[in-house]
Amino acid sequence: MSKAKRTELGQLGEFGLIDHLTKSIKLKNASTLKGVGDDAAVLDYNKKQMVVTTDLLLEGIHFDLTYTPLKHLGYKAVVVNLSDVYAMNATPKQITVSLGISSKMSLEAMDQLYEGIYLACDKFGVDLIGGDTTTSLTGLTISVTALGEAEADKLTYRNQASVNDLICVSGDLGSAYMGLQLLEREKKVFAGNSEAQPDFAGYDYPLERQLKPEPRRDVVELLEKIGVKPTSMIDVSDGLSSDLLHICKQSDKGCRIYEDKIPIDHTTVSLSEEMNFNPMIAALNGGEDYELLFTISLADYEKFKTDNDLKIYAIGHITEASKGCYLVTSSDQEVELKAQGWNHLKE
């Protein structure tokens, strides 16, 4: 992250920094009436319903600046929120970004962070409309709030899954988690010997899943195109188990998912084997894949088969609540699904 030019943030002051970081904003959405520059942004959502979601990313918990490029971090901070908007079957329109930054951070480092933020905004047609920039005595803090819109009857909640609905996922799971394990391993090697070069050969895919996740706008667009409204939907941020349990709990249902149906990328399997880790555990509990997990009626499944562009994986089905929530293994054993969430508090 070292660069030739280094401008101390103190030279700009708060308002100079905000001007610098926001001067290139061009508003993209008709619903954005006023963006950065007043006490609050002003939005207009006539006849549509809007969704609001927020995520807080803290240095040392959610990211490690030793191996996270700032541009990737800015991009990821935005897209994890957009992923939540897509998981409502809605379209993101605006974000606010609040930052707590150390006085040791240079203007050039801030620019890299914002480069990623603006890249995500451009790619997904979202307006940055405000935020709060403050100093932090400790690490970097990033808080993003996203607003989106949808027709009222298109919104997908977590509580409408029905018995016999198919459980589907939009892509492979566990790669982001294994990418993180690889980064942590190489960090330890480097800490022991600063001459050592990190060995990431052949593992671009899990690294990319960890460092630059992509929210599945294409899946939401596909659903619109083929006329399917999932009965429930969530994005896989905490891990398949946790996120599927949210759907089951809120819908008051149970589920069966099948080990041999759960998509895991072959590179991730190789990496798991190399690291003596069970890839299925990564898929179930790893999190941060940002795939969409959703339930559909059996009748709707046919509609996916006619589309060849996007692969959707049916991994199980919804049952009565009394049947519980289980993974059926390849050897036909039933293993109860457990929520993980964060474990940091227990450490």
Q: Binding string, 70-89, against its own copies, x = CB under 8 A?
A: --------------xx-xx-
What span, in angstroms and rounded, lies between the C-alpha atoms of 244 and 253? 11
Tell me whether residue 201 or residue 345 sits nearer to its own copies (CB atom).
345
Tell me whether residue 135 or residue 278 sits nearer to its own copies (CB atom).
135
Residues 133-152, interacting with its own copies (CB under 8 A) = 134-139, 141, 143, 145-148, 152
Tell me whether residue 42 or residue 191 sits nearer to its own copies (CB atom).
42
The answer to whether 99 contacts its own copies (rule: CB under 8 A) is yes
- On the 0-12 / 13-18 / 19+ scale of CB atoms within 10 A, 310 is middle
- Binding part of the chain for its own copies, among 35-43, 113-121, 186-194, 316-324 by CB under 8 A, reads 35-43
The answer to whether 22 contacts its own copies (rule: CB under 8 A) is no
Tell me whether residue 17 or residue 337 sits nearer to its own copies (CB atom).
17
Tell me whether residue 101 or residue 207 sits nearer to its own copies (CB atom).
101
Contact 291, 235 (CB under 8 A): yes
Pairing of strands 253-258, 49-58: unpaired
Count CB atoms within 10 A of the CB of residue 77: 24
Tell how far CA 126 is from the center of its chain. Answer: 16
The answer to whether 157 contacts its own copies (rule: CB under 8 A) is yes
The answer to whether 345 contacts its own copies (rule: CB under 8 A) is yes
Residues 235-274, interacting with its own copies (CB under 8 A) = 235, 242, 250
Q: Using CA atoms of 88, 90, 96, 100 in order, give the dihedral in degrees to the nearest 10.
A: 30
Binding-site size, its own copies (CB under 8 A): 77
What span, in angstroms and rounded, lies between the C-alpha atoms of 235 and 214? 11
Among 96, 112, 210, 251, binds its own copies (CB under 8 A): 96
Q: Using CA atoms of 18, 19, 25, 26 in order, give the dihedral in degrees to the nearest 10.
A: 140
Among 68, 73, 100, 282, binds its own copies (CB under 8 A): 100
Residues 37-56, interacting with its own copies (CB under 8 A) = 37-47, 49-56
Residues 209-238, interacting with its own copies (CB under 8 A) = 233-235
Give, in order, the Cα–Cα distances in Å from 220 to each of 154, 325, 328.
10, 26, 29
Tell me whether residue 181 or residue 250 sits nearer to its own copies (CB atom).
250
Among 129, 166, 282, 312, binds its own copies (CB under 8 A): 129
Closest CA to 331 of 255, 285, 280: 280
Residues 285-344, interacting with its own copies (CB under 8 A) = 339, 341-344
Question: Residue 251, SS3?
Answer: helix
Least Å from the CB of residue 255 to its own copies: 17
The answer to whether 29 contacts its own copies (rule: CB under 8 A) is no
Residues 53-72, interacting with its own copies (CB under 8 A) = 53-56, 58-62
DSSP 132: E
What span, in angstroms and rounded, lies between the C-alpha atoms of 256 and 262? 12
Residue for token pair 């939009």: 170
Closest CA to 226 of 309, 308, 304: 304
Tell me whether residue 116 or residue 130 sits nearer to its own copies (CB atom).
130
What span, in angstroms and rounded, lies between the C-alpha atoms of 204 and 263? 18
Least Å from the CB of residue 346 to its own copies: 4
Give, in order, the Cα–Cα distances in Å from 96 to each of 126, 148, 164, 172.
10, 12, 40, 30
Question: What is the enclosing helix (H) or strand (E) of 224?
Answer: helix 217-226
Least Å from the CB of residue 277 to its own copies: 23
Tell me whether residue 58 or residue 269 sits nearer to its own copies (CB atom).
58
